[in-house]
Amino acid sequence: MKRSLAAAGLLAMLSGGVPVAIAGTGPLCGTGRNTAICFASVDRGGALSPDERAKLAAAAPVAIDIVSSRQFAAELAAFYAALPPRWVKGNRYWRGFDPVEAPKAIRAAFAGLHIDTRGGARARKSAAFGGNLAYEGSTDKRTGERFIMLNRYRLDRPLGGLVSTYVHEASHKGGYSHRAGQTRDQKCEPPYVMAQLARKLAEPDKWANFAASKNACRFWREAR
């Protein structure tokens, strides 16, 4: 799938002036018509350096703007339409998928979402052995606040990687799932595909290398 003029325009808009909120204070909102969609905060626990917090904050409005864009909706619909019908029929995570409703669900999940981090021995071990970049988190039973948790030892990633993580974890909160095992087709299930598409639009110049890697859905390569 080739980069389009619309994607180039989106990138220019995003790179021209991404608002960086003061970490932990929020809100962290989209731009233009998306200013009403806001993450709640970054690093509520104050465990990160100012540079780390600023980096996570900068990715938040980019994620909102991308998922809200016509380009995201169009490419998601095109990807879904191109999936092998027999494969979709046998994959319960795609059955009943609506590419029009999915971006709406993710945007709704972004609203009021806290971006927290997780440290400690388990997170460090996971980082060392290529494990989880982030965790879906949960909802605080006392306050009703929703949060995702990024692995504190895997924050040294480019913008596209962070945007991808936000989309993936928010998609879970929007009701989309994937199988638990690390199988070849897990990367081709809705949370991964939508996250990969967000990565593509955030950093189109890096997309070809990523799409050719084992971390990308195989259908990106097979569709070329």
DSSP-derived 3-state class of residue 17: coil
The closest of 186, 224, 203 to 91, measured between CA atoms, is 186
Residues paired with 116 in a beta bridge: 149
Indicate if the alpha-carbon torsion angle 164, 166, 169, 170 is positive or negative: negative
pTM for the full predicted model: 0.84
Locate the DSSP E strands across the chain. Answer: 28-29, 38-39, 41-42, 113-118, 134-135, 146-151
Looking at residue 80, its pLDDT comes to: 94
Alpha-carbon span 36 to 202, nearest angstrom:
21
DSSP-derived 3-state class of residue 91: coil
Alpha-carbon span 115 to 155, nearest angstrom:
12
Q: What angle do CA 103, 52, 153 make, to 5 degrees?
A: 85
Indicate if the alpha-carbon torsion angle 218, 133, 64, 109 is positive or negative: positive
The closest of 62, 64, 60, 75 to 23, measured between CA atoms, is 60
Looking at residue 91, its pLDDT comes to: 86
Q: Tell me the per-residue pLDDT of 47-66, one tens digit each, with 9 for 90 and over.
A: 999 999 999 999 999 999 99
The closest of 32, 77, 71, 23 to 202, measured between CA atoms, is 71
Looking at residue 152, its pLDDT comes to: 85
Alpha-carbon span 74 to 80, nearest angstrom:
10
Q: Which residues of the chain have pLDDT under 50?
A: 1-26
Alpha-carbon span 115 to 70, nearest angstrom:
25
Looking at residue 120, its pLDDT comes to: 74
Residues paired with 150 in a beta bridge: 117, 134
Q: Tell me the per-residue pLDDT of 117-155, one tens digit each, with 9 for 90 and over.
A: 887 777 666 665 566 776 766 677 788 888 898 888 888
Q: How many CB atoms lie within 10 A of CB 53?
A: 23
Q: Are 170 and 113 in contact (CB under 8 A)?
A: yes
